[in-house]
Amino acid sequence: MAGLRERKRTETRQRISAGATRLFEQHGFENVRLVEIAAAADVSVNTVLNYFRAKEDMFFDAEPASCDELVTALSERGPASSAAALRPLLVDSPILAGSLPWASVDDSWWNALRERAACERRSPALTARRASILLSWMAPLAEVTGSAACAAMVTGILALRQTVMQDGLIDGQRPSIVGPRVRTIMNNALDALERAFPAEHLGPVAPVPLQEARQC
């Protein structure tokens, strides 16, 4: 019974987040009201507020999963460097959370990603929240790498990746153009991270529980 309740809660949360994001993309983030989000999800405003503290949280609902992916990759890196652990996540897929390879990206998915990127770029509130999210990841990244400086550099690389992705999407470029550019820039950035923080220069790794990573 508890499993069923949890699935329903997850489904409701996803329905609210997905409906809100569609409204943000159609009308602009700042122009959408909570009552409209609730109506789109067929729930009450109070239900929306039970799941999300702010509209920004609905748009960025998937970001904790990205943080989890990064923390997991770093905590399981063994004797490898942080750069080696992060390379598959930052290079091989257009998204951090998930395993979708660049070659599998279809037009429908790419166009949806383009609408999302344009929505975020147009909104001062979403742009500010993106910066805040990346900044909040520094603590769990520092804990899992054993180095605040390494965590700061990783965060900068993630910000660079976000900018390159958004620029390509908003400019209307195809995955066949954006993918190689992301791979080249990320490989160069990770090479620099490798030179600055080879495996032997990082502290011992203590796995970070996912519930702690979700605080970012």
Q: What is the pLDDT of residues 34-66, one digit of tens each?
A: 999 999 999 999 999 999 999 999 999 999 999
- Span 147-171, average pLDDT: 97
Q: Enter the tokens of residue 161.
A: 């990746």
CB 206 within 8 A of CB 144: yes
Q: How many whole angstroms separate alpha carbon 115 and alpha carbon 67?
A: 23
CATH, range 4-54: 1.10.10.60
Answer whether residue 203 shows pLDDT above 60. Answer: no
Residue type, 46: N
Say if CB 55 and CB 35 are below 8 A apart. no
pLDDT of residue 97: 81
* Contact (CB, 8 A) for 90 and 181: no
User: CA-CA distance, 24 to 27, in Å (whole number)?
Assistant: 5
Question: 143: which residues sit within 8 A by CB, 6+ positions away?
Answer: 206, 208, 212
Instruction: State the average pLDDT over residues 182-192.
Output: 98
Average pLDDT over every residue of 136-156: 96
Averaged pLDDT, 153-179 = 97
Q: Where are the domains of the chain?
A: 4-54, 61-196
pLDDT at 202: 56
pLDDT greater than 80 at residue 126: yes
Indicate the pTM of the whole model: 0.87
The pLDDT of residue 213: 42
Helices (H), 76-147: 82-91, 107-122, 124-136, 138-145
